[in-house]
Amino acid sequence: MKQVQDQTGNSFFIPSPPQRIISLVPSLTELLHSLELTDEVIGITKFCVHPDQWFRSKARIGGTKNVNVQFVKSLQPDFVIASKEENVKEQVEAIRSFCPVYCTDVVALEDSYQVIEQIGIITNRLIKARQLIKAVQQQFADLPLVQEPLNAAYLIWQEPYMTVGGDTFIHAMMKLAGFHNVFAAEKRYPQLTIAELQKLNIDVLLFSSEPFPFKQKHLDLFSDQWMQSGSLQTLPLLRIVDGEMFSWYGSRTLYAADYFRKLRESLFLSDEPTA
């Protein structure tokens, strides 16, 4: 029997490696697949698109914000994975009344490593989990520092426009990618206007592919709105970026460093030579 404390401070017992797992977190569904838990995972959300085979074959228990708690209960899970960031507290607590729940609270890459290791321990996949952590650490160790980070804002939503503050995982990944988040002093996900952006010294605006699926037409609209405002402030570079690389923790981070390297090259960011 293992006593576990999750990242929100909740403690629970796991008598044996779980055999009926439900994931309420898309990035951690992918992690469970990387840990080779195909038979053990019985339910996922409608947003758990990786891997595709699971998306097409596993029971779907609703969305991250509207979990069907009664359906979850009917599946008789012995372990559920949730997220303070992505899931609704009341729904998580309702599930906790009949099943152990591990809830994540990830705001830095190191927090992601902790999640990977703890889930590895719980599911009896510790060796694979530590191999994954080591591989991710090596990828980021090989990513040089940027000499002069670009001032950037990362947009996650339209109507209203929303960005990310300094207490988010995306903020931490922006820093690793070579960007200075101009909203680092803000909390969570503040709303903003184009007028407010025009008052800041921004080099590049990063439009995420999720949760709002920004496309080129949205960048064109933004550009038109900026120009129509009459501001003399130069329009920053506008770039659509892969939101999974900035916001998915777990095994997706294995690919983030290489993505950041290529993004830097496309923006002509210089790297600091490593010793």
Q: Give the model confidence (pLDDT) of 68-120 as tens digits.
A: 999 999 999 999 999 999 999 999 999 999 999 999 999 999 999 999 999 99
Cβ contacts of 246 within 8 Å, gap of 6 or more: 154, 170, 173, 174, 177, 206, 208, 256
Question: Does residue 270 have a pLDDT over 60?
Answer: no
Q: How far apart are CA 232 and CA 112, in angstroms?
A: 42
Do 98 and 180 lie in one domain? The reply is: no
HSE at residue 95, side-chain half, CA atoms within 13 A, is 31
Q: Nearest CA to 197 among 167, 238, 242?
A: 238
pLDDT at position 173, please? 98
User: Where are the alpha helices (H) located in 18-64, listed in sequence order?
Assistant: 26-34, 52-57
pLDDT band at 233 (very low <50, low <70, confident <90, very high): confident
**Would 271 be classed as within a structural domain?**
no
How far apart CA 54 and CA 163 sit, in angstroms, is: 31
* CATH for 36: 3.40.50.1980
| 112 inside domain | yes
pLDDT grade for 254, boundaries at 50, 70 and 90: very high
Residues 233 and 174 in one domain: yes
- Establish if 39 belongs to a structural domain: yes
Assigned domain for 274 exists: no
Structural domain count of the chain: 2
In this predicted structure, the answer to whether residue 137 has a pLDDT above a threshold of 60 is: yes
Do 36 and 91 lie in one domain? The reply is yes
Domain span holding position 68: 2-139
The fraction of the chain above a pLDDT of 90, given in percent, is 89
Q: Is the pLDDT reported for residue 61 higher than 70?
A: yes
Looking at the fold, whether 6 and 124 belong to one and the same domain comes out as: yes
What predicted TM-score, i.e. pTM, was given to this entire model?
0.93
- How many angstroms separate the first and last alpha carbons of the chain? 46
Task: Say if 145 falls within a structural domain.
Answer: no
Judge if 45 and 81 occupy the same domain. Answer: yes
Structure tokens at 226: 């900026």
Percent of all residues in the chain with a pLDDT value above 70, rounded to a whole number = 97
Q: Is the pLDDT of residue 172 over 70?
A: yes
Question: 208 and 122 in one domain?
Answer: no
Contacts of 89 (CB under 8 A, 6+ apart): none
Domain boundary among 86, 108, 139: 139
Distance CA 19, CA 39 (A): 8
184 domain-assigned: yes
> Is residue 74 domain-shared with residue 162, that is, in the same domain?
no
pLDDT of residue 271: 53
Where does a domain end: 120, 139, 158? 139
Same domain, 50 and 134: yes
Mean pLDDT of 254-275: 78
State which of 108, 139, 170 marks the end of a domain: 139
| Residues 52, 175 share a domain | no
- 273 occurs within a structural domain: no
- Do 184 and 78 fall into the same domain? no
Omega before residue 213 within 30° of 0, cis: no
The reply to whether 166 and 100 lie within a common domain is: no
Whether 169 and 217 map to the same domain: the answer is yes
Residue at 121 is within a domain = yes
Q: What is the mean pLDDT of residues 52-69?
A: 96
Residue 68: half-sphere exposure toward Cβ, Cα within 13 Å? 12
Distance CA 260, CA 245 (A): 8
Ramachandran angles phi, psi of 124, nearest 5°: 65, 40
